[in-house]
């Protein structure tokens, strides 16, 4: 266990206070005037094929409408998965029929 003296704790607190001082007014003004537009990274995977694209803020509406259209078109061609419960019920009924016969 590490032991500290009162002086070492005091100096540590002083250093922490100096680090947490409020920034200068100039640096705050620079941050306010710095209005960057960030682009959005969109990634997609289909099997082994991977694609990605950067969408700029001005093109987001156009991208979203196109993406929604693609999703809507391909939703119709999707098939429902067969559920395991239905298969289990079918097997149980077959076993029940086999034992009664």
pLDDT of 54 reads 94
Q: Is the pLDDT assigned to residue 9 strictly greater than 80?
A: no
Q: Contact 51/67 with Cβ under 8 angstroms? A: no
Q: Report which of residues 61 and 23 the model is more confident about.
A: 61
pLDDT of 25 reads 59
Structure tokens at 1: 């266990």
Average pLDDT over residues 8-33: 63
Report phi then psi at 5, rounded to 5: -90, 165
Structure tokens at 101: 């016969």
For 62-92, write each residue's pLDDT tens digit: 999 999 998 888 887 777 777 677 777 777 7
Q: Count CB neighbours of 1 within 10 A.
A: 2
Q: Contact 39/55 with Cβ under 8 angstroms? A: yes
pLDDT of 78 reads 73
């Amino acid at each position: 266990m590490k032991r500290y003296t009162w002086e070492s704790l005091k100096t540590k607190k002083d250093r922490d206070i100096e680090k947490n001082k409020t920034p200068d007014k100039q640096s705050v003004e620079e941050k306010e005037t710095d209005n960057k537009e960030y682009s959005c990274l969109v990634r997609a995977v289909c099997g082994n094929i991977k694609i990605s694209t950067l969408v700029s803020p001005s093109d987001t509406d156009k991208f979203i409408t196109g993406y929604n259209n693609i999703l809507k078109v391909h939703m119709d061609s999707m098939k429902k998965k067969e559920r395991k419960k239905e298969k289990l019920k079918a097997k149980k009924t077959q076993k029940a029929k086999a034992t009664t016969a």
